[in-house]
Amino acid sequence: MNRKVFVSGASRGIGRAIAEVFAQKGDELFITCLNNIEEMDRFAKEMSERFGVRCSAYRCDMSDNDEVRKLFDEIGDVDILINNAAVAWIGLLTDMDERDWRRVMGTNLDSLFYTCRAVVPSMVRRQKGTIINISSVWGSVGASCEVAYSASKGGVNAFTRALAKELAPSGISVNAIACGVIDTDMNRKELSEADLAELEDEIPKGRMGNPKEVADLVISICDAPSYLTGQIITIDGGWI
């Protein structure tokens, strides 16, 4: 298809799966990570060799406006923007310090402002474009001991709905995917095996989702009619 696709937080999990399905489609990829740039470079090379596409990897702190601005100055226009970079923090709100709060908000929410502000002008000029923000069910219902994460994802949902209305006259679609429990390194790092097993018992599907399922949904949204915009689409196995 040869679309230009930007995916943040693509070093592992959902972001990596999203990048791979776009590579399979023949799209040109620009992928970022905060750490593990060596692994990202290997992944980018693998995508190029397997699918014959251009795949460029960058280290970028998506919560840093200057870094994001410089990155898009280099990349230029994109057709599809996938905001996936995110961090979690689990614990009592009273145990959280300001630095942790800012890290969660900066990565999960401020980054959307930086990336969208960078790509929207060119999308408006061309009267087309697709923006998908990876959110969470906690953005809709909240989670105990994940106040900052829940608040940031609630912000992602509101940001998505508002920007969709702003950009609809310009032919640009903006949607979000609210993920339930997905089998990612981040979840396995933050939650014990007992916690994950308990969650799986609560999910009607009886299991966690996998990153490829989220990636396939991203592709479906990108290929959907342009009338689909401003939606928070939940993928959670019937859980919430």
Residues taking part in catalysis: 149
Per-residue tokens: 236? 């959670």
How many Å apart are CA 45 and CA 63, to the nearest integer? 26
Helix, strand, or coil (residue 56): strand
Q: Taking a C-beta distance cutoff of 8 angstroms, is the pair 4, 77 a contact?
A: yes
Helix, strand, or coil (residue 226): coil
How many Å apart are CA 237 and CA 182, to the nearest integer? 10
> How many residues in total does the chain contain?
240
Per-residue tokens: 214? 């989220």
